[in-house]
A and B are shown apart, each in its own frame.
Chain A
């Protein structure tokens, strides 16, 4: 199976500060880590590779520091690592990011079977890159995948059919997909494995990172980075909880009477038609 996993390096902090002036996250000072959901996506790919053979290419768009997570992915068992890095790629929203990733995938792994992504990133949490990537690549996309099964091809000699279950609200939906496709992996599936330390040295000595800048990618400068972003963060502010609660004190019956006095109009429809506190 020809698998591609898109991974993102996010700040390794519990809460990241927003720069209120620019509307961006204050990423500079924070240590980086692989986005947790990306780990699940990578785990899914590793399991698919173990069960069905093939190769995994990991791709990340980011500053040079993103090399850290690519090497970690190699240590875990990925075969190839691609770093998309260029100052002009900075400030990209999810649209520009998906364009850039798609460009790389078309260049490096045109005949992929599946592209796997984490369902969302821990810093931006938009969950948009996966679906936008499917659009850019003009392939089927399924989000919040929990299980992946590889079935026999429908046509002899063709690609295997992929059966998926994915979360929707409170139930699991089962779908079948004919590759190629983009999947985003839910955090509930594919518990990520720990890195085996014996994978680290080979991740540095036996593989070169494929480094693609905007020029090598053949990317349209108007469609990458800040230029290619269709959305702009106008304002960032912490949410303030300013509701005042009402505390009803006293005996139960008196409290219930107060409750109906204050909120009777809103309660009737829920508690029951024509309910009265004397009942």
Chain B
């Protein structure tokens, strides 16, 4: 795999196109939808028409067929303006659509992918429960084999896109006796009997994303909705998360980039002691560190993305990218508020939203601690 450090023309075009869209359609509403915790249906509908919900899916299903670096650029540019929408798009693409692409039968792909690609159905992946966060083995949702398929029961919490999803991938225990081979993934259409959307979570950040609980009560799911093999749940989950981690890393990167740009702009305009604060070495040091680390984060992420496209194992690289970008986003957004001073703490400026949005990137799709486990495992598995 050759390394290219300067963006090729295609990646520049992807970036310009998405930035234009985000500035025109998301920038004007980002603050309001955050304050009201309102999911921007109209913008989402437009994005569906522009293929944002089938970024890497093949054209035959209505997808854009983009490479993984392009995918990361899309998420980064959306999140640079509105991280809640960036989150919606990455979760839909990486952990809802991608597993169907990777593990689905032809019939399932024909049945589910077109609606997902067009954004007609927004996707969600449901793993987390009250007793199962980092410990996915603690999942208690069950899927019992019955005459017409499987009967599912359980409650999923903190489901990203949950309140808007038309399709949910449910991680359920199918063989309670076996710990590692005991789980499977089922595809549930939101209109199915026994599937209820719960209250929306009142979150610190990414508030415009309809994160909620999902109640699954005696939900009968036909055999045709089992994704992959029975007992393949863990494998599907981990595969989904590998790609999902890059999407979250891209989201975190976008947050950092947006906060950084706001800081540069503000430091040029704000005058104290008779000059712009960008004249002061302390501010210059902050800006220099921010840009250097953002550059490093971007290269780390693109390296993982390039490995995926080369068909090479990229689990540890994706974990490193996610860890690094999430930590960076928190550092940069906090510094951005600091550079803005008192104004940075007020909702009149956007940086406080970036600061609030950044925190969760260290938590979901694998906490910082879990990423470190993955990386350490990779280090220690190497031959001595």
Contacts and interface: CB of A to CB of B under 8 A. Distances in A.
Interface of A: 12, 31, 33, 67-68, 71-72, 75, 194-198, 200-204
A164 B184 CA distance: 63
B21 interface: yes
Contact of A197 (B12, B46, B51): B51
B14 interface: yes
Given A33-B16, A71-B13, A194-B50, A201 B21 contact: no
A20 B62 CA distance: 51
A198 B49 CA distance: 10
Contacts of A194: 17, 20-21, 24-25, 46, 50
Contacts of B10: 71, 200-201, 204
Interface of B: 9-10, 12-14, 16-18, 20-21, 24-25, 46, 49-52, 54-55, 59, 62-66, 70, 74
A196 B49 contact: yes
A71 B8 CA distance: 12
Contacts, number: 64
Contacts of A33: 16, 20
A199 B52 CA distance: 12
B9 A197 contact: no
Nearest to B24: A194
A198 B16 contact: no
B16 A72 contact: yes
A201 B21 CA distance: 18
A8 B52 CA distance: 27
A202 to B, nearest CB: 8
A228 B248 CA distance: 52
B65 A75 contact: no
Contact of A198 (B9, B21, B65, B74): B65
B6 to A, nearest CB: 12
14 contacts: A33-B16, A68-B9, A72-B16, A194-B25, A194-B46, A195-B21, A197-B64, A197-B74, A198-B65, A200-B10, A200-B66, A200-B70, A201-B66, A202-B59
* For the complex of A and B, 8 pairs with smallest distance between CB atoms: A198-B51, A198-B64, A197-B51, A197-B64, A195-B17, A196-B50, A201-B65, A194-B21
Nearest to A195: B17
A68 B10 CA distance: 8
B259 to A, nearest CB: 19
A204 B10 CA distance: 7
Contacts of B62: 198
Contacts of B18: 197
A72 B13 contact: yes
A194 B9 CA distance: 19
Contact of A71 (B9, B20, B64, B74): B9
Contacts of A12: 16
Nearest to B50: A196
Contact of B59 (A72, A198, A203, A204): A198
Contacts of B14: 197, 200
